[in-house]
Structure 1
Amino acid sequence: MPNTYTQIYLQVVFATKGRDIKIISNVRNEIEKYICGIFTAKKQKVLAIYANPDHIHIFFSYKNLQITIPELMKTVKIESTNFINERRLCLGKFLWQEGYGAFSYAKSQKDKVVNYILNQEKHHSKKSFREEYLEMLDAFEIEFRNEYLFEFYDGER
């Protein structure tokens, strides 16, 4: 009997509620490890992850088509929110914003994307999250409406 074989590389990006600075450096690794565990439990493989203080990048190999991307993102957000709040890893109540960006890549781009994500701290010393995200939407030719973008520090949407 024939089987189904897939190899899809995706980067997802989503932000903390209100773009609050919630993920401080001393809890970042713990949060990243927990989120990687969620992906593993859902039979996905994280290739790179970086939790910035106010948003996160996750690059993964999407192989198990038994779960849709929206279901996976919902699970990741709910379970990681519960983990962060139960362990009081952040001051006050932690929440992710609604929505996310999902971007696909070819296998030939894998190393470049991994490097990009693992160097987020350096990258954001030169470019804001807003600039980064808008550039990604433009590069992938994704039509969007400003009122449905993440909340940004400068008040612009």
Structure 2
Amino acid sequence: MANTYTQLYIHLVFAVKHRDRLILPSFKDELMKYITGIIQNKGNKLLAINTMPDHCHIFIGLNPKNPISELVKNIKLASGDFINDKKWLKGKFHWQEGYGAFSYSHSQIDNVIKYILNQEKHHKKLSFKEEYKKILTSFNIEYQDAFLFDWFDDVKY
């Protein structure tokens, strides 16, 4: 598109169904590489990705041709199929319904990247539930607990 300029930085967060701790260290890196391919094949720029056993953080420069909801849907469907096809788990893997998408300015890129890459450190102090609510609050997003991810525990890693 001629004369179209964008700067869209989006932090995506989504969880494993039932918040099960199914993203194992043995395949974490391969899964992140696969998700990176999905993101880049859609014309987006991956800035950071990290998975914890029960959730995923992705930070991208969004291609405006990609609606966020479609991108997340594609990432979750394809990566879930990838995990199941690899038979890394005994049962079926599924991502939980829903996601968070948060926009940042160019000046915040380095801080968001560091935050995502240091997830293991953050989760020694905060559970995913505490972290997610903190993000929602910092963006002044009104929410109801009943409509957030299913919280089965409040594990710190």
Quickly name the TM-score band, shorter chain normalised. Answer: over 0.9
| Match of residue 97 from structure 1 | 96
Stretches of structure 2 that go unaligned for 5 or more consecutive residues are: none
Q: Which amino acid aligns with 2:101?
A: A
TM-superposition CA deviations, 1:98-132 (whole Å, max 9, x none): 00000111111100110010010111011100000
Task: Give the aligned partner of residue 32 of structure 1.
Answer: 32
The answer to whether the 8 A contact 1:10-1:60 is kept is: yes
Paired AA for residue 104 in structure 1: S
Q: Which amino acid aligns with 1:33?
A: K
Are 1:22 and 1:91, in contact at CA under 8 Å, matched by a contact in 2? no
Partners of 2:17 and 2:153 in 1: how far apart?
A: 15
* Aligned CA-pair RMSD: 1.3
Task: Using structure 2 for the length normalisation, give the TM-score.
Answer: 0.94
d(CA) in 1 for partners of 2:89, 2:43: 28
Farther off after superposition, 12-21 or 82-91: 82-91
Equivalent AA in structure 2 for residue 67 of structure 1? N
Residue-pair matches, total: 154
Which aligned segments of 4 or more residues in structure 1 are displaced greater than 3 angstroms?
Answer: none
Q: 1:60-99 residue pairs with structure 2 within 5 A?
A: 60-62=60-62, 64-99=63-98
User: Percent of aligned pairs with the same residue?
Assistant: 52
Q: Distance in 2 between matches of 1:31 and 1:149?
A: 25
TM-score, normalized by length of structure 1? 0.94
